[in-house]
Amino acid sequence: MTSVADVPCGRQWRREARIVGGESANPGEFPWLVSITRRGGHFCGGALVNKKWVVTAAHCMCSGPVELPVEHIRVTVGEHDLSKRETPPSQEIRVRRLVLYPGYQCERFNHDIALLELDDEVGWSESAWPICLPQAGETSFSGREATAAGWGWLHENSAHGGRANVLQKVTLLVVDNDTCRSWYKSKGKKTKILDSQMCAGYEHGSRDSCWADSGGPLMVRDDGLITLVGVISTGIGCARPKLPGLYTRVSNYSTWIRTHVQAP
C-alpha cells in the first residue's frame, strides 16, 4: 500500500467486530468515504486520498453522453446519515476541477475512474481521513475478503427497499477475472470483463453493491490499515447469482492518480 497524504492513510477511528445483504456502518468507520451531490441530492460515492483529492467513478461525472459541469458538483466529507445533521458537522466542499481518465467515454465502463480536485483542503479528524492506495500493478487481490460501502439502494427492485440514509457496508469476496468471465458467460451475458476491472461478490448472489453506490470504495484491510482496491463501477442487476459486481481495478491506475494528486 502507499499514501499520497500528509497523515498516515487508511486508519479507522471507530470500528466494531445501495448495498444489498449488508448492514449499517458505524459513524467514523470509513472516514475517507464522501457523498457526491448535485443540486443537494446524493448521487455517487467517492474516497479521499489526500486533503484536496477524491477518487470516484468516471461515469458518475456524466449525464448521458455529456460531462457534468464541475460547478454543479459538491463533495460532502464526514457524512454518515444523509437525513440529518452530523455531529461533528459534515463539510460540504465545492469541486475545483474534474479529471477523467484519458480516453474515458461517457456511458462506457472502460477506464471508469475520475479524480475530483476540491476547492478547499479537508481538515483531518476522526470523521475525515484519507484511504491508502495500492502499489501500481499490485496483486490481483483474488480470494480476498473486501468491503464495499455506500448509500445505495437496498434492493434491486426499489419497491422492496429504498435508498439508504445511513451509510451501508457489505463484505464481498474478490473473484478472479477468469472465474468471473465464466460465471457471466454461464448466465448468457456478453459483458466484456477487462483486466482493468475486478469482480467482487458471491457465486450464490445475495450480497452486492448497487447502482447508487457508484464511485464508492472497495476496500481491503492489511495490518489494520485500509486500502482502496476497487471503485464501484457497474454490474447486471443486484446480488444475482454468478453476476458479481464490477469494479475499476485501482492498482492499474495508481501511477496516474499519484501523478495528479502529488503535483505541486
Whether cis (ω within 30° of 0) applies to the bond prior to 31 is: no
Helices assigned H by DSSP within the chain: 177-186, 254-261
Q: Catalytic one among 59, 80, 111, 208?
A: 59
Strand-pairing partners, residue 219, are 147, 228
Cα 200 to chain centroid distance, Å, stands at: 13
* Residue 214 a catalytic site member: yes
Q: CB of 204 within 8 A of CB of 110?
A: no
* Residue 83 a catalytic site member: no
Region of residue 223 (left: phi > 0; alpha: psi -120 to 50; beta: else): left
Q: Catalytic one among 209, 214, 233, 254?
A: 214
* Backbone phi and psi for residue 213, each to the nearest 5 degrees, phi listed first: -85, 0
Q: Catalytic one among 35, 112, 208, 254?
A: 112
* Residue 59 a catalytic site member: yes
Active-site annotation, residues:
59, 112, 214
